[in-house]
Structure 1
Amino acid sequence: MIDLLQYEFMRRALIAAVLVGLITPVIGTYLVQRRLALLGDGIGHVALTGVALGLLTGTSPLLTAAIVSMIGAVLIEVVRTRTRTSGDVALALLFYGGIAGGVLLIGLTPGASNATLTGFLFGSVSTVSEEDLWVVAVLALGVAAVVAVFGRELFVLCQDEEVARAHGLPVRFLSVLLAVTAALTVVIAMRVVGLLMVSALMIVPVVAAQQLTRSFRVTMSLAVVIGLLSSLGGLSTAFYADLAPGATIVLLALAVFVVAVGVGGVLRRASGHRAASTRPPAVTAEAGTMPESDPGRVSR
């Protein structure tokens, strides 16, 4: 780890990895709970259009990606709620439009190379500038503020939209807010893991945590730990082994998921055996009482 800190670009990369590891699983927990796991992928494709627009106009690709991603997130909610289009179809439209717009604008950008596009698609932490780091930090604070203020309302929304509406919560506003927050999270993580893999870091740590616990709050906390360890561990491994950082981070998160599946299965079997051993024996008809299987028995 000391070797990493000797290089300025790696110090910036480590800070970005910490921010990504902390923020992405938080939003991912809400998305998984609401069954919108693919939303990050759709917004990632739209963010590509924002990146290309930034390169074409000579402005910060992170800022233009944030603006375009938020617009795309709002549009997907409008399409989903105000038309007869289902959520998965709306996501598909976002996929196609985002990738097509990005490729078109990249082609119009003078001097844009395949290396530049690849860096945004698959991550390139070595090119994170100080300006990029400030943008990522501000966006991360914004996402954290949204969760701190509206976390309880978003939890109710993700549990059951009808229950949220019955409690008088602004369902449409909260839905748009969650989508916009997910869009900002995608932009935060794209420099570390890339637009094509950013959704994995939002979802895989959450799914891994779900193998070990069922509590929403504990799942989120454990997912943050897994995301943070995956980001830092993957980045460090990529540095020493000369591997692609984004892919290494995602594969490490997937490895944690596989381990969590095994550990969760063992824990559930052990819990089942303990429950069976402590269960009182069934009283049979030979003991002079009515057996539980008697169809005439009435339960209170």
Structure 2
Amino acid sequence: MTELLSYDFMQRALLAAVLVGLVAPLVGVFLVQRRLSLIGDGMGHVALAGVAVGLLTNVAPVWTALVAAVLAAVAIELIRASGRTQGDVALAVIFYGGIAAGVVIISKSSQGTPANLTAYLFGAITTVKASDLWVFAVLAVLVILTTWLLRPRLFAVASDEEYARAMGMPVLALNIALAVLTAVTVVVSMRIVGLLLISALMIVPVAAAQLLGSSFRATMRWAVVIGLVCSVGGVVVSYEADTPSGGTIVVLAILVFVAASAGRAVVTRVRAKQHERAETHAHEHGPECGHPAVSHHGHVDYLHDGHRHAPHEGHYDEHDGSHATAGEPPHEAGTPAQEKAGQP
């Protein structure tokens, strides 16, 4: 690791990976909520056209890519809002038009070599320049601050657009803001993850986080953590294994998703077995059964063999003991309803 950090290009790559790992899932969580998981692909293909224009005109590709992606983002939302064309059709037109224009324009550029094109499409850690890193840092901070300030409104629109409109929220403006945030995220990520793979880093960590978090806020936190681990870890692994950074990062994210899915399946099976064991529990709990009773969300749980059994409609549910409040005293004398609930 010390040797890795001794190289200037790796220091820049790791810093860029931190920025990507933060902003991509942060924006992606709202795209998943709105079922627009593929919009990042459309932005990436249009950004390729912007990169091609930059290479052809000798302008910094990051700026031309940013302009192209932002214009495409605004166009998509305006077309969707007009109702004349469905959102998926508009996305498809921009998707294919962007990549076609990019390929044609880049073929006319003296810098449009296959190596340069691959670096932008799939990411390459050696292409991150100091000047680009400063631009990425400024853009990433703007994305983080804007997302944090607008998160309640973005969540409201993503959850129920009609309700948000009825509440007087500027739905179109918020949709355009989210689309622009997506475009900026694509540009920030293109040197590390690549234009063709950035959508995966925006979506896959969120999908894994949904398996781990029990609320939208928890999902957002898990998504950012997973994004950071995968982006930084992917850069390190790509350096050691001499593989493209973008593909390596996405592979790690998919492995995390698979692990989260497997873990969720195991937990679900264990809880199902615990529930079945509680239902077939031979001992009948009640106020006089001798086992400590604990109040829990309006009913009574009985502590038995390290488990908490709750009488429920002729059978017993087993509750996780972690739900109990630490130091909560046994329930000595409950209300009549609780005493009745304790009867078999």
Please, what TM-score do these two structures have when normalized by structure 1? Answer: 0.91
**Where does structure 1 differ by over 4 angstroms across 4 or more consecutive aligned residues?**
273-276
- Does structure 1 residue 69 correspond to structure 2 residue 69? yes
For 1:29 and 1:173, how far apart are their aligned partners in 2?
A: 19
For 1:155 and 1:62, how far apart are their aligned partners in 2?
A: 29
- Structural mapping, 1:180-199, within 5 Å: 180-199=180-199
> Post-superposition shift, 1:91?
1.0
Identity %: 52
> Post-superposition shift, 1:279?
4.9
Q: Give the alignment partner of residue 313 of structure 2, picking from 279, 282, 289.
A: 282
For 1:272 and 1:171, how far apart are their aligned partners in 2?
A: 42
Please identify which structure carries the higher strand content: 2
Structure 1, residues 256-276: CA drift from partner, whole Å, max 9, x if none? 000000111122333444455
For 1:59 and 1:133, how far apart are their aligned partners in 2?
A: 16
Structure 1, residues 47-66: CA drift from partner, whole Å, max 9, x if none? 00110111111111011111
**Corresponding residue of 1:289:** none
Question: Relative contact order, CA 8 A, sep 6+: which one is greater?
Answer: 1
Please, what TM-score do these two structures have when normalized by structure 2? Answer: 0.80
**Structure exhibiting the larger radius of gyration computed from Cα positions:** 2
- Does structure 1 residue 78 correspond to structure 2 residue 109? no
203-212 or 77-86: bigger deviation:
77-86
Runs of at least 5 residues in structure 2 that lack an aligned partner in the other structure = 279-308, 316-344
For 1:227 and 1:144, how far apart are their aligned partners in 2?
A: 14
**Corresponding residue of 2:238:** 238
Runs of at least 5 residues in structure 1 that lack an aligned partner in the other structure = 285-300
> Post-superposition shift, 1:281?
5.0
For 2:132 and 2:314, how far apart are their aligned partners in 1?
A: 69
- Structural mapping, 1:1-300, within 5 Å: 1-275=1-275, 277=278, 278-283=309-314
Contact 2:186 2:195 in 1 (8 A): yes
Contact 1:38 1:199 in 2 (8 A): yes
Between the two proteins, the alignment pairs up a number of residues equal to 284
**Corresponding residue of 2:294:** none
Residues 1:279 and 1:21: Cα distance change in structure 2 (over 3 Å) = same
For 2:110 and 2:191, how far apart are their aligned partners in 1?
A: 22
75-84 or 177-186: bigger deviation:
75-84
Aligned AA for 2:154?
L
Please identify which structure carries the higher helix content: 1
Structure 1, residues 36-82: CA drift from partner, whole Å, max 9, x if none? 00000010000001101111111110111111100000001111111
For 2:311 and 2:86, how far apart are their aligned partners in 1?
A: 49
RMSD across aligned C-alpha pairs, in angstroms?
A: 1.4
For 2:312 and 2:145, how far apart are their aligned partners in 1?
A: 53
For 1:151 and 1:282, how far apart are their aligned partners in 2?
A: 42
